[in-house]
Amino acid sequence: MVKVVRLAVQTTGQGDVRNVTDEVISAVSNSEVCNGLLTVAVVGSTAAITTIEFEPGAVADFNNLLEQLAPRIGSYAHHERWGDDNGSSHVRAALLGASVTLPVIESKPVLGQWQQLVMVECDTRPRTREIFIQLIGD
């Protein structure tokens, strides 16, 4: 059996980290999939999906690391080619990845006690993001 759920998430721009765990848990519990695999994916080259302990300190540390790895104000060939300002956005999203896959056991995604699924906005402007939750199993 394959089930797909689509979410729309409005963001405020680079550094916005949105907890989507509850929506994913709800999609799994309503899916009729008892055991299988879950993939959560965001559409676009300037957003990412990952896991983190979703609390203000960890999110701040995470954003500080991204700023060190791919500073917003930096020299990017992407800026020169396209005349825009989101070179750091593409680099950040590529480092993090567009999806996460988890096992589903007894109609629940397998997550650690302090592990939440998050969508990370890497673009330099607010966006409406599409997130797809796909379940495969029985």
- The domain total for the chain is 1
User: What is the value of pTM for the model shown?
Assistant: 0.95
Q: What is the CATH number of the domain that holds 86?
A: 2.60.120.460
| pLDDT (0 to 100) of residue 51 | 98
Report d(CA 56, CA 61) in Å as an integer.
Answer: 9
Report d(CA 14, CA 104) in Å as an integer.
Answer: 31
| pLDDT (0 to 100) of residue 106 | 97
Low-confidence ranges of the chain (pLDDT < 50): none
| pLDDT (0 to 100) of residue 18 | 98
For 23, 42, 78, 85, 92, the CA distances from 82, given in Å and listed in that order, are 36, 23, 6, 9, 18
Q: Are 40 and 24 in contact (CB under 8 A)?
A: yes
Domain that holds residue 6: 2-137
| pLDDT (0 to 100) of residue 38 | 98
- Residue in this structure with the two tokens 């590529």, named with its chain if needed: 94
Q: How many CA atoms lie within 13 A of 33 on its CB side?
A: 26
Within 10 A of 56 (CB to CB), how many other CB atoms are there?
A: 7
Cα Rg of the chain, angstroms: 16
Could you report the per-residue pLDDT of 16-27, keeping only the tens digit for each?
Answer: 999 999 999 999
| pLDDT (0 to 100) of residue 124 | 97
| pLDDT (0 to 100) of residue 83 | 83
| pLDDT (0 to 100) of residue 119 | 98
Q: Are 89 and 96 in contact (CB under 8 A)?
A: no
User: Which of the 8 DSSP states describes residue 95?
Assistant: H
Within 10 A of 14 (CB to CB), how many other CB atoms are there?
A: 23
Q: Are 13 and 126 in contact (CB under 8 A)?
A: yes
